[in-house]
Amino acid sequence: MSYRIPDALIAKENARLTTAQDEDYAALGRRLERAGADIESITAKVAAFAVAVPTWGVGTGGTRFARFPGLGEPRGIFDKLEDCATIHQLTRATPACSPHFPWDKVDDYRELAERAAALGVGFDAVNSNTFQDAVGQKLSYKFGSLAHEQKAVRDQAVAHNLECIEIGRKLGSKALTVWIADGSNFPGQSNLNRVFDLYLESMAEIYAQLPNDWRVFIEHKLYEPAFYSTVISDWGSSLMAAQALGPKAHCLVDLGHHAPSVNVEQIVARLIRAGRLAGFHFNDSKYGDDDLDTGSIDPFRLFLVFNELVGASARGAPGFDPAYMLDQSHNVTDPIESLMASAMETQRAYAQALIVDRDALASAQAGNDVMLAHGILKAGFVADVTPILAEARRRNGGAIDPIAVYRVSNYRKIKATERPAVAGSSSGIV
């Protein structure tokens, strides 16, 4: 039987922190009450908030230059599920994971579904992969996949996506995320208009096979691995495609997929207005698609994104049902610690956005009182909501301090004895 952190250890560690937590929570409650906010309703919302963990994120990540595997690396999807379950056991914020195929391919998906259920982990959107050539694959994706000039390659890519839908149905997933690397490195290499038509043609075949209660998430990305043009490079191309395909097609925002200084929260506002916001791949970045821990570089941007989400929910925006997922690469930290911290940072941005006095903000905006409006919004961001996040975890049976419990448990060292080191790739994101 592989090691699981005993719940008794969580209870023991929580007992050590309870007095301080109670004091801090009560003090924050009084402060928020003075500002007209009810801490209990915010804590209840945070306790119900969930963000999915990427299965490809629980192993050590790398770059094109190198990958330095850590101790107790997951050897496959069953180990990855264990680590996802540990993240949820301590944070109570990540009840589902988002798998990636063929990286998570197995022979028996019923066995996988049963193991996940036994670990208390569900499956969010499944991710297809036509940006690498899988072992035994007939035709290469070197020059593209769903938008490839050759029909046979497009058909192969469509077939892979249909296979992902079949796998997702067996796992209880309700969405397919399609990110393609298709693009060009030289002006003239591809016809910028024709490749979009080819993409739509292929996506229409995938769309036609979507179960009624499923959605397809189109993920845009400005560049990489293509360095001159990318077929679905921005939210405009993604929205054009979603509107051309039909109501089950939505636009997924990976925070790292934009040029530096792009106003991502405004893109979110536009996609919400169009009723096509699929959801997110949360991470952080300073330069490109750095896939750093969420909230680690620009927590204010994350807050501004959640401010749009809370605003949309408050006004009952039509078709507003975003899926929240992390998408990160952990090259120098323990992936479990990074994913726990990142899940908590998404909760933090959510709680901060819930504190914003929306009525006061609306009247300050209506009156063009710039400093007052900015101040009202900023008041949410500067509030230390740590006691709310800890209280939500404690009430859900999690740890007041997940990383402290994880370290006291020696989980990683124990996994290193259970999981003999496997030769991983010497470079690349997984």
| Interface residue list for ligand LRH (CB under 6 A) | 56, 127, 179, 219, 221, 254, 281, 289, 327
Q: What binding mask, one character per residue, do residues 60-79 give for Mn ion by CB under 5 A, x or -? A: --------------------
By beta-carbon proximity to ligand LRH, the closer residue of 54 and 398 is: 54
Stretch of 92-100, 246-254, 303-311, 422-430 lying at the interface with Mn ion (CB under 5 A)? 246-254
Q: State the distance between the two ends of the chain, measured CA to CA, in whole angstroms.
A: 27
Q: How far is the CB of 228 from ligand LRH (least distance, A)?
A: 17
Which of Mn ion, ligand LRH, none does 391 bind, CB closer than 5 to 8 A by kind? none
Alpha helices, DSSP H, located in 35-98: 39-48, 77-91
By beta-carbon proximity to Mn ion, the closer residue of 100 and 281 is: 281
Residue nearest to ligand LRH (CB): 179
- 178 phi/psi in degrees, rounded to 5: -115, 105
**Cis link prior to 225 (omega < 30° from 0)?**
yes
Measured from the Cβ of residue 122, the count of other Cβ atoms closer than 10 Å reads: 18
Which of ligand LRH, Mn ion, none does 289 bind, CB closer than 5 to 8 A by kind? ligand LRH
Strands (E), 9-121: 53-54, 96-98
Q: What binding mask, one character per residue, do residues 308-327 give for Mn ion by CB under 5 A, x or -? A: -------------------x
By beta-carbon proximity to Mn ion, the closer residue of 254 and 284 is: 254
Q: How far is the CB of 94 from ligand LRH (least distance, A)?
A: 17
260 three-state secondary structure = coil
Q: How far is the CB of 132 from Mn ion (least distance, A)?
A: 15
By beta-carbon proximity to Mn ion, the closer residue of 289 and 334 is: 289
By beta-carbon proximity to ligand LRH, the closer residue of 94 and 127 is: 127
Best CA proximity match to 91, nearest among 39, 45, 53, 41 = 53
| CB-based burial, 81-104: b 16+ in 10 Å, e otherwise | bbbbbbbbbbbbbbbbbbbbbbbb
Q: How far is the CB of 181 from ligand LRH (least distance, A)?
A: 8
Report the alpha-carbon distance of residue 374 to residue 368 in Å, rounded.
Answer: 11
Distances (CA, A) of 225 to 12, 132, 184, 235, 360: 48, 11, 9, 18, 45
- 282 phi/psi in degrees, rounded to 5: -80, 140
Q: What binding mask, one character per residue, do residues 275-314 give for Mn ion by CB under 5 A, x or -? A: ------x---------------------------------
Which of ligand LRH, Mn ion, none does 394 bind, CB closer than 5 to 8 A by kind? none
By beta-carbon proximity to ligand LRH, the closer residue of 37 and 176 is: 176
196 three-state secondary structure = helix
Best CA proximity match to 210, nearest among 173, 237, 253, 251 = 173
SS (H, E, C) 265-315: HHHHHHHHHCCCEEEEEECECCCCCCCECCCCCCHHHHHHHHHHHHHHHHC
User: Is residue 254 a contact residue for Mn ion (CB under 5 A)?
Assistant: yes
By beta-carbon proximity to ligand LRH, the closer residue of 299 and 428 is: 428
Give the pair of three-digit tokens for residue 279.
Answer: 């959801």
By beta-carbon proximity to Mn ion, the closer residue of 224 and 337 is: 224
The residue count for the chain: 430
Q: What binding mask, one character per residue, do residues 323-352 give for Mn ion by CB under 5 A, x or -? A: ----x-------------------------
Q: How far is the CB of 107 from ligand LRH (least distance, A)?
A: 23
- In the complex, the residues that contact Mn ion under the rule CB under 5 A are 254, 281, 327
